[in-house]
Amino acid sequence: MARHRVRWVESGGGPLIAVPETVLPFWAGAEGDETASDYDRACEIDGPVGLLPVGDGAALVLGDEPAATAYLPDHATFVRRYAADSEADVLSAVPAALATAEWEKEVRWKVPGPVHLFDSARPGTDPERSDPLRVTLPPGPYAVRAAWTRPGPETWLGLVQLRALER
C-alpha cells in the first residue's frame, strides 16, 4: 500500500454521511424547519450502510455505531475504527480484513463525482463546521458492500467497500 496521510473523520454521536459534492447545498443536517431533519433521516438507516435521496442524487450513510472513519483509496474502502491499539494496527490489518470479511448485501450507488464524508448532523453548506473529508471518485455506478471484521484480538473494524460498475 502506498504511504499517504490518512485522515480520520469522527461524528458527535450520529452517523457519518458521504454526500456528492454536486448536492452538498441540499444537505441541511440537523437544521431546518421540517418535522424530520436530514440528520433524523440518516439516523433511521438500519444497518451498516444505506442511501438517502439528496437533491437529485443520493448520499451514502455509514450507519450502526459511530466510529472514526478514513477512506483508503488503494482499497476503495471506508475503514471504520471500532477498536485498535493504534492507527498502524488498523492499517496493517486492512488487507487481511478485506480478504476474510463476511459481506452484507450490496447497495447500488450512482456517484456524479467527488463526495464529502462528514458528520450527518452538520449542514453540507458549511465546510468550516462540517470539516469534511473530500473523496475523489470517478463518476458512475458503484456497488457498495459492508462488513464487520475482527482481524486481531484488539482490532475491530468496519469496512465499506466501493466497487465501480460498468456503465
Which three three-digit cell numbers place residue 24?
452538498
* Beta pairing, strands 115-119 & 107-111: unpaired
Buried b (16+ CB within 10 A) or exposed e, 4-33: eeeeebebeebbbbbbbbbbbebbbbbeee
Predicted confidence band at 2 (pLDDT cuts at 50, 70, 90)?
Answer: very low
130-139, pLDDT tens digit by residue? 679 999 999 9
pLDDT surpasses 90 at 100: yes
Beta-carbon neighbour count of residue 47 at 10 Å? 12
> What burial class does residue 128 get, using C-beta atoms within 10 Å of its C-beta: 0-12 exposed, 13-18 middle, 19+ buried?
exposed
> Residue 48 pLDDT > 90, yes or no?
yes
Domain locations along the chain = 16-164
pLDDT on residue 12: 86
Sheet strand arrangement including 77-83: 68-72, 77-83, 155-164, 140-152, 107-111
Give the Cα separation of 106 and 104 in Å (integer): 6
pLDDT over 90 (residue 69)? yes
Number of Cβ atoms within 10 Å of the Cβ of 147:
18
Q: Supply the Cα-derived Rg of the chain in whole angstroms.
A: 15
pLDDT, tens digit (0-9, with 9 covering 90-100), for 108-135: 999 999 999 999 999 998 767 667 999 9
Q: Model-level pTM?
A: 0.92
